[in-house]
Amino acid sequence: MIESYLKGFEQLASNGGSAAPDWARSLRLSAITRFEALGFPTTKNEDWHFTSVAPIAEREFDLLAPPAHRVTAAQLEPLTFGATDWHTLVFVNGRYDASLSSTKGLPDGVTLVPLTRAYEELPLLVEQYLGKVAAYEGQTFTALNTAFLDDGAVLHVGREVEVARPIHLLFVSDPSAGAGTSQPHNLIVLDRSAKATVIESYAGLGDGAYFTNVVTEVVVGDGATLTHLKLQRESAQAYHVGTVDVRQARDSHLVQFSFATGAALSRTNIYTELRGEGCGATLNGLYLGDGEQHIDHQTRIEHVEPNCYSREHYKGILDGSAHGVFNGKVFVHPAAQKTDGKQTNNTLLLSEKAQIDTKPQLEIFADDVKCTHGATVGRLDETSLFYMKSRGIDARTARELLTYAFAADVLETIEQVEVREALEAATLQRYTEH
């Protein structure tokens, strides 16, 4: 329902978002025009071939209002990994909640503020990057998000500053969220040789059929290292479309992990452009689906300059009638000699009705490169099961252990201890009977 968004846009333009600077308002205007022109993608669009967004396109979502009842810290507890000393910004229904957030102890040279304050505190930075990294010209959902540019997190880490503790951006939709939508827009900028870990969490506190459409723009400066985790644990009825778009400069590193388990329909886009020599990008992910869930991942790694490497490993476990989609693109530009790229996607189908469509893609225009990709789909390996049984492990335990081990293999790559252990524990619990 494009019309309802157009109506919502007019409301936003006339009140809520009117505090934004002129350039932001004109950005919104051109984005809504683009959104209207693009419309929602159909399955004829190659990028959406296996994912129908009809459930989103056919519903009317109003922009979410602030929650009726205050969300309490206790409600957020299951989502915060027991960590008390992280720098946290909490957004409820897409709006910043200062009472739940804490940024104390941030090192000098680091700014972590909601977008509304960034307009005042980092005016040049936001004007320079907002809407520029994640191009919306060809992307309906990015255009839609940019049109409703109003709130979100802005992080700036200055030159050579290392943020020791993780920064947690927590986006929750409260039980009253119903059929509303939130459109958070984040910006992460790491200056030269800076280092930080950012965790983006999306979760539902109720079971509403709300729609979260998020865009995160990331700029990693020369020699900087960003560890970025995106954890999607939305409510079972929800819809989630999330795009992380990264630009990497010379000798920078991105270590990204995407964990997706929630939402009835979710689509995660992880894009990175290696725009300098000597960059590294590691993109890993795990998707766990059951019931009628539809979980889609699209990744794109653009090797623009020589001597960069990329590593990608996505795994999925699908049960019930869940439908998984993986589309991984590795694009090597003509100048990107000595590129070393590796991409793997493994999916485990636990039930007869689960299905997966996987499309690993290589597009290579340089000759001196080493690129491989691989994909496997199947159920648990009979020989492994037999081996374990021959060692005295009963069939059920063997099955559970192998399922867990399949997922743990990629969870182990998460460096952040609290997150890794929590996700491992949750996965173990999910696939063992108790």
Partner 1 sequence: MSSSIETLVNREYAYGFVTDVETDTLPPGLSEAVVRLISGKKEEPAWLLEWRLRAYKRWLTMKEPHWPNVKYGPLDYQSQSYYSAPRSVKPLQSLDDVDPELLRTYEKLGIPLAEQKFLSGVAVDAIFDSVSVGTTMKEELKAHGIIFCSLGEAVREHPELVQKYLGSVVPHSDNFFAALNAAVFSDGSFVYVPKGVRCPMELSTYFRINSEGTGQFERTLIVADEGSYVSYLEGCTAPKRSTSQLHAAVVELVALKDATIKYSTVQNWYAGDKEGQGGIYNFVTKRGKCVGANSKISWTQVETGSAITWKYPSVILQGDNSTGEFYSVAVVNNRQQADTGTKMIHIGRNTKSNIVSKGISAGHGQNSYRGQVKVMPKAVGARNYTQCDSMLVGNECGAHTFPYIEVGNNTAQVEHEASTSKIGEDQIFYLKQRGLSAEQAVSMIVSGFCKEVFKELPMEFALEAQQLLGITLEGSVG
Binding residues for partner 1, rule: CB under 8 A, are 46, 50, 334, 337, 347, 349-379
- Residue with smaller CB distance to partner 1, 13 or 362: 362
As measured in angstroms, the least distance from the Cβ of 107 to partner 1 is 43
Distance between first and last Cα of the chain = 44
- Residue with smaller CB distance to partner 1, 376 or 429: 376
As measured in angstroms, the least distance from the Cβ of 316 to partner 1 is 11
| HEC sequence for the chain | CHHHHHHHHHHHHHCHHHHCCHHHHHHHHHHHHHHHHHCCCCCCCHHHCCCCCHHHHCCCCEECCCCCCCCCHHHHHHHCCCCCCCEEEEEECCEECHHHCECCCCCCCEEEEEHHHHHHHCHHHHHHHCCCCCCCCCCHHHHHHHHCCCCCEEEEECCCCECCCCEEEEEEECHHHCCEEECCEEEEEECCCCEEEEEEEEEECCCCCCEEEEEEEEEECCCCEEEEEEEEECCCCCEEEEEEEEEECCCCEEEEEEEECCCCEEEEEEEEEECCCCCEEEEEEEEEECCCCEEEEEEEEEECCCCCEEEEEEEEEECCCCEEEEEEEEEECCCCCCCEEEEEEEEEECCCCCEEEEEEEEEECCCCCEEEEEEEEECCCHHHHHHHHHCCCCHHHHHHHHHHHHHHHHHCCCCCHHHHHHHHHHHHHHHCCC
Q: Is 127 exposed, middle or buried (0-12, 13-18, 19+ CB in 10 A)?
A: middle
- Residue with smaller CB distance to partner 1, 167 or 330: 330
Q: Are strands 95-96 and 87-92 parallel, antiparallel or unpaired?
A: antiparallel
d(CA 426, CA 422): 6
As measured in angstroms, the least distance from the Cβ of 217 to partner 1 is 28
- Residue with smaller CB distance to partner 1, 72 or 376: 376
- Cβ pair 261, 290 in contact under 8 A: no
As measured in angstroms, the least distance from the Cβ of 344 to partner 1 is 10
As measured in angstroms, the least distance from the Cβ of 148 to partner 1 is 33
As measured in angstroms, the least distance from the Cβ of 284 to partner 1 is 19
Using alpha carbons only, what angle is made at residue 279 by residues 275 and 285, rounded to the nearest 5 degrees?
100
- Residue with smaller CB distance to partner 1, 78 or 291: 291
Tokens at 235, concatenated: 């409510």
- Residue with smaller CB distance to partner 1, 42 or 361: 361
- Residue with smaller CB distance to partner 1, 33 or 376: 376
As measured in angstroms, the least distance from the Cβ of 49 to partner 1 is 8
As measured in angstroms, the least distance from the Cβ of 285 to partner 1 is 17
- Residue with smaller CB distance to partner 1, 351 or 429: 351
As measured in angstroms, the least distance from the Cβ of 50 to partner 1 is 8
As measured in angstroms, the least distance from the Cβ of 184 to partner 1 is 33
As measured in angstroms, the least distance from the Cβ of 86 to partner 1 is 39
- Residue with smaller CB distance to partner 1, 212 or 345: 345
d(CA 8, CA 308): 43
- Residue with smaller CB distance to partner 1, 370 or 396: 370
- Residue with smaller CB distance to partner 1, 53 or 356: 356
- Residue with smaller CB distance to partner 1, 379 or 396: 379
As measured in angstroms, the least distance from the Cβ of 340 to partner 1 is 11
d(CA 268, CA 430): 22
* Phi, psi torsion values for 2, nearest 5 degrees: -65, -35
